[in-house]
Structure 1
Amino acid sequence: MLTTSAASPLIHLHASDNVGVARAHIPAGAAVILDGMGVTALAEIPSGHKMAVAPIPAGSRVLKYGQTIGVATADIAPGAHVHLHNLAMQESDVAHHFAEDGRATELLPQAARRTFEGYVRPDGQVGTRNYIGIVTSVNCSATVARAVADHFNRGGLEGFGNVDGVVALTHGTGCAINTKTEGYAYLTRVLGGYAKNPNFAGILMIGLGCETNQIEPIVSREGLVEGRLLRTMTIQGLGGTRKTIETASAIIREMLPIANAAQRTTVPLTGLKVALQCGGSDGYSGISANPALGYAADLVVKHGGTAVLSETPEIYGAEHLLTRRAVSPEVAQKLMDRIDWWRTYTERNGAELNNNPSHGNKAGGLTTILEKSLGAVAKGGSMPLEAVYEYAEIIDRTGFVFMDTPGYDPVAVTGQVAGGCNVVVFTTGRGSVSGFKPAPCIKVATNTQMYEHMHEDMDINCGGIVTGEDTIAAAGERIFEMILAVASGAHTASEDFGFGDSEFVPWQIGAVT
């Protein structure tokens, strides 16, 4: 990655790029010195937006990161603002090379690897938090589940200071779906995965009773075993709302002393699975916070942990950077198969992959999904790609892996947590504020202006990379250290605000009948 000096108002990311990114607002008429040459801004260039640094004829490729981000729809002169008015999407035509790097994952010697303080569960998994969860099989049991959780979270946990809370995992589906569809498979995998997530000390599953999504098949298919810390019930079976709330509350009171007795112990990073996420991205995401998170993800992997990239629509046009890192052609092909699935899925729903950049993404300087993806994939660092998982599948490999999810953040993180992730790191340029119980969520700002404006919601600022006052390596080290601190019990900003109860959003696809 090439950059001009901090004195230049423009960041030039690659020698072949015909655009640069404004470090801050550049007024029209300003002279910009780039690599010893002067370019005059022909228009106002908002911070994070692109300015042409060479002539770009109509129909030719616009290059950023040394990669194609779109095609010029008009002749673009040096100094012009390059954005939606003169840049359009083109279908990705990158060449894909499978398992080209041939590298093995670089692990540090055992004695040099870091540890964290976590809760070791009976199945050997390690929790970073100690919640009790209420899993609902259907929307019809959501109100009851929330009533039970609210009772405990509003004063019912006195004397159980080692329990982080009771989480009601409610959703909008569970009935009127075909049990042979992808949507049903995703839902049941999510519910089973959350029931097995090590950040839960105990789980209570509540259904209505007559729903399509029956609890018994979930328990059987997901290999769950009922006992003191896994209980199930239905509202119809118990005789109504009041009796269910009373019974559920009594069961959780039985779980609380057991959960409260859990103690953190020193454990290796093999027990750490970190979900890599971005949301509310801007023109700086791929320059500052995302590559810094990628650096931190590499450190997690080198120390024996797992880093999980996701959001398939947000790697479209950059997937070739991952296929060449795959440990085998089979892993690379599985990733390409998911890209092909997404092409078909969006087409049959009258959409396209370029629908992904949001209003805020564009206001922040991003244009096409190709540009967004090239910045988003930087979160994945540089380690070999060990495995590709479908939505909400249990992550059973250490190292750097990928999970197929939508780009919509709550749905994506829901899949990652169902897969076993116990910490989330979330980069944002516009100011996302979500949390994802039971996994703590670290918020990383891409730019200092937003960080200072929303500092109460942010945990780490990477804006110094943009101004030249910080480096990717230094920021990545800070993120890595915070991951270990949070995994060991330190609170994040979103936890202090109580976020995370409404961000459980299983991926709902297919017909609702």
Structure 2
Amino acid sequence: MTAVITSTSGENESESKASTLLLNAADDVLIALRPIARGEVLRDGLIAQDDIPAGHKVARRPLASGEEIRRYNSLIGAASADIAAGAHIHVQNLEMLDFARDYSFCADVRPTPTAGEKRTFQGIIREDGRIATRNYIGVISSVNCSATVARMVADHFRGRLDAYPNIDGVVPLTHKRGCGLDTKVEGVEALRRCLAGYAAHPNFAEVIIIGLGCEVGDLTGVLGGAQGTALVIQQSGGSAATVRTGIERVEAALERANNVRRVPVPVSELKVALQCGGSDGYSGVSVNAALGVAVDLLVAQGATAILSETTECYGAEHVLTRRAISKEVGEKLVDRVKWWEEFASRNGMEINNNPSPGNKAGGLTTIIEKSLGSIAKGGTSNLMAVYDYAELVTEHGLVFMDAPAFDPVGATAQVAGGANVMCFTTGRGSAFGCKPTPSLKLASNSELFRRMPDDMDINCGTILDGDETVEAAGARIFEDIIQTASGKRTCSERLGYGDEEFAPWDMGVML
């Protein structure tokens, strides 16, 4: 789904600048572009019956209780009470409903366009051919018991790398798990995949894995073929001795890690993670739609885009199955959605309660509405593959990775899967970074971009302001991705985000 903005204005508006947005002529709702006061005359002579916050929905016509309501020309729920034309539509009068999704596997598959001009970025080519966009040294704890030592090693180098200008930093990656279970349960396997994926990530020139030594859960082999070393506290003389040894190991790697240079690399080598957090009523209209345009441009170059957050495609997954390159790919996505339904049921939850208080304050009411806007990040490209959490991504084009909607947990999986750039959209404002992968923050509205200037890289509120088309904003995002991959620092990098956001999914039993 890509939002189609039919009009941003209408006759008889009480202000010279449009106060509402119509996404599709078949929609039952308008979107408020600013706070609207009760009694204001809106498009086509419609009179606001309530005070309506920015980003929220306005009824275009009278709706009877139980009647279906559409946005993006897609079903988002049903009226839970009679709704007057011009009334505020939100949690007080809109509810989820069960409906049958038409999966129509592969029905919308189209030939992938090929870009006429093959683009490059300034990347780093590792000795084994892997492509990096950053050049870090990583210090990873295999278990929470070694987290403090890992952080001490990395902290020693804070502010001490001036002599090594080609090194982006020494990153501590710690977590709260790593012991208590050594079986083939999903949670333990997901942790192993995360640790192995980060250890092998091309944005690390070298990694040091630090363990305690008595933990349950054998993490031998986490390094795999990655450049690095492992230290065990109980075998290295204790905490202080391990810190000293860890510092020595990093110091020995600095010269080698600094000896890199950036060279032209095809854009097809990019793996771009697509994330969103703190979404609002504008996210699916402006920023996610524009990112979808950028994704289509990336796919035309042969690059990879990793869509995720399974619980935020729930209710809209049929849009993706129709674009699945094969029935098997589409069925795997449906299987993951069914797994989430069962998982939620086992734990006494409902997926349709997903929109957070912040999402609802920003104008999103049901999970279907949120999901339709969320998957807009994936553009219109074919769905080439579906991956389990933190699985290594090998397919080019648009792919999907199963993960929760909590941003750090989903982003951790995408980076473990090999993402070397991340695009993170937000409407409410999100503070996030994801070392060793640079994270671009994209704002859905200009007010957010002005309010959080140190956190936001790209303003897509220009679409709502009428200053830029969705297509033009998407082309601008595409260029920013190339610049970021070439070494341009993002806001979150300048602020120092990324040391605390390593968050493997904890879904297993602990004994």
* Shorter-chain TM-score range: over 0.9
2:132 is matched with 127
- What amino acid is the match of 2:31? V
2:253 equivalent to 1:255 = yes
Q: Is the 8 A contact 2:305 2:399 kept in 1?
A: yes
Aligned to 1:461: 459
* CA–CA distance in structure 1, aligned partners of residues 194 and 99 of structure 2: 31
Matched, 1:492 2:490: yes
Q: Is the 8 A contact 2:309 2:410 kept in 1?
A: yes
| TM-score, structure 1 normalization | 0.96
Equivalent position to 1:184, from 188, 194, 204: 188
Deviation at residue 20 of structure 1 after TM alignment = 0.9
In structure 2, the residue corresponding to 1:107 is in which secondary structure?
A: coil
Give the counterpart letter for 2:225 in structure 1: V
State the alpha-carbon separation in 2 of the partners of residues 5 and 143 from structure 1. 53
Q: CA–CA distance in 2 between the matches of 1:5 and 1:46?
A: 17
Match of 1:369 in 2: 367
SS in 2 for 1:152: coil
CA contact (8 A) 2:412 2:503 kept: yes
How far apart in 2 are the matches of 1:247 and 1:456?
37
1:3 paired residue among 6, 23, 33:
6
Candidates 325, 330, 333, aligned match of 1:332: 330
| Residues 142 and 258 (structure 1), Cα distance of their counterparts in 2 relative to 1, 3 Å cut | same
Partner of 2:12: none
1:343 paired with 2:341, answer: yes
- Alpha-carbon distance, 1:101 to partner: 2.0
| 1:200 matched residue in structure 2 | 204
Q: In 2, distance between residues paired with 1:382 and 1:48?
A: 24
Match of 1:292 among 290, 293, 296: 290
User: Quick check: 1:116 aligned with 2:126?
Assistant: no
Matched, 1:70 2:87: no
SS at match of 2:206: strand
Deviation readout 1:376-415 (Å, 9 max, x if unpaired): 0000001111111010000001111110010000000000
CA distance in 1, matches of 2:168, 2:218: 29
The letter for the 1-side match of 2:498 is G
Which deviations, in whole Å up to 9, do the C-alpha atoms of 1:465-493 show, x marking residues without a partner?
11222110111111111100010000111
2:179 is matched by which residue type in structure 1? Answer: C
Q: Which residue of 2 aligns with 1:386?
A: 384
Alignment check: 8 A CA contact 1:60 1:72 kept: yes
Once the two structures are TM-superposed, the CA of residue 92 in structure 1 deviates from its matched residue by 4.4
- C-alpha distance in 2, partners of 1:239/1:179? 30
Q: CA deviation at 1:212?
A: 1.7
The yes-or-no answer on 1:45 pairing with 2:55 is no
Corresponding residue number in structure 2 for 1:136: 141
Give, in whole Å, the separation in 2 of the partners of 1:486 and 1:162: 15
- Rounded Cα–Cα distance in structure 1 between residues aligned with 2:159 and 2:218: 30
Number of aligned residues: 501
Matched position secondary structure for 1:424: strand
Match of residue 310 from structure 1? 308
| 8 Å contact kept, 2:192–2:219 | no
Aligned residue type for 2:375: V
Give the structure 1 partner of residue 222 of structure 2.
218
Deviation (angstroms), 1:217: 4.2
What does 1:88-107 correspond to in 2, within 5 Å?
88-107=95-114
2:90 to 67, 77, 83: 83
Name the counterpart of 1:165: 169
**Distance of 1:197 and 1:289 partners within structure 2:** 28
Q: Offset of 1:352 from its aligned partner?
A: 1.2
CA shift, 1:294, in A, is 0.5
- Residue type at the aligned position of 1:310: S
The question of whether the paired residues in 1 share the 8 Å contact of 2:8 and 2:22 is answered with: no
Q: Does residue 505 of structure 2 align to residue 507 of structure 1?
A: yes
Q: Which amino acid aligns with 1:364?
A: G
Counterpart mapping for 1:388-467 below 5 A = 388-467=386-465
Q: Retained in 1: the 8 A contact 2:180–2:217? A: no
Secondary structure of the corresponding residue to residue 198 of structure 2: helix
Checking the alignment, whether the CA contact within 8 Å between 2:59 and 2:83 is kept in structure 1 is yes
Please list the CA deviations of residues 23-60 of structure 1 after superposition, one character each: whole Å capped at 9, or x if unmatched. 11111000111xxx221100011100000001111011
Instruction: Give the direction of change, closer, same or farther, for the CA distance of 1:406–1:92 in structure 2 (3 Å limit).
Output: farther
Q: Is the 8 A contact 1:299 1:480 kept in 2?
A: yes
Provide the residue aligned with 1:281 in structure 2: 279
Identity, % of aligned positions: 51
1:304-350 superposed Cα distances (whole Å, 9 cap, x missing partner): 21111000000011111100111111110011010011001111111
Query: CA offset at residue 123 of structure 1?
Result: 2.7
Other-structure match for 2:14:
none
Aligned-residue offset at 1:9: 1.4
SS in 2 for 1:197: coil
Paired residue type of 1:74: A
- CA–CA distance in structure 1, aligned partners of residues 282 and 121 of structure 2: 31
How much has 1:301 moved relative to structure 2?
Answer: 0.9
Displacement of 1:270: 2.1
Whole-Å separation in 2 of the counterparts to 1:218 and 1:202:
13
CA distance in 2: counterparts of 1:406 and 1:463, whole angstroms: 27
Question: How far did 1:510 drift?
Answer: 1.8
**TM-score, normalization: structure 2?**
0.96
CA deviations on 1:216-245 (whole Å, 9 max, x unpaired) are: 1434xxxx137xx31011101112001100
Question: How far apart, CA to CA, are the structure 2 residues paired with 1:346 and 1:102?
Answer: 31
Give the aligned residue type for 2:90.
Answer: H
Residues 268 and 298, structure 2, Cα contact 8 Å, conserved in 1? no
1:347-387 alpha-carbon deviations (Å, 9 max, x no partner): 11111112321111000000111110000000000111111
CA contact (8 A) 2:193 2:390 kept: yes
Give the aligned CA root-mean-square deviation in angstroms.
1.1
Q: 2:261 & 2:495 partners in 1: Cα distance?
A: 25
Q: Indicate the SS of the match to 1:379.
A: helix
The equivalent position to 1:19 in structure 2, one of 29, 44, 48, is 29
Task: Find the aligned partners of 2:132 and 2:484 in 1 and give their Cα distance.
Answer: 11
Hey, what does 1:154 align to over in structure 2? 159
**Runs (5+) with no aligned partner, structure 2:** 10-16
Q: 1:96 to 1:168 in 2, by over 3 A?
A: same
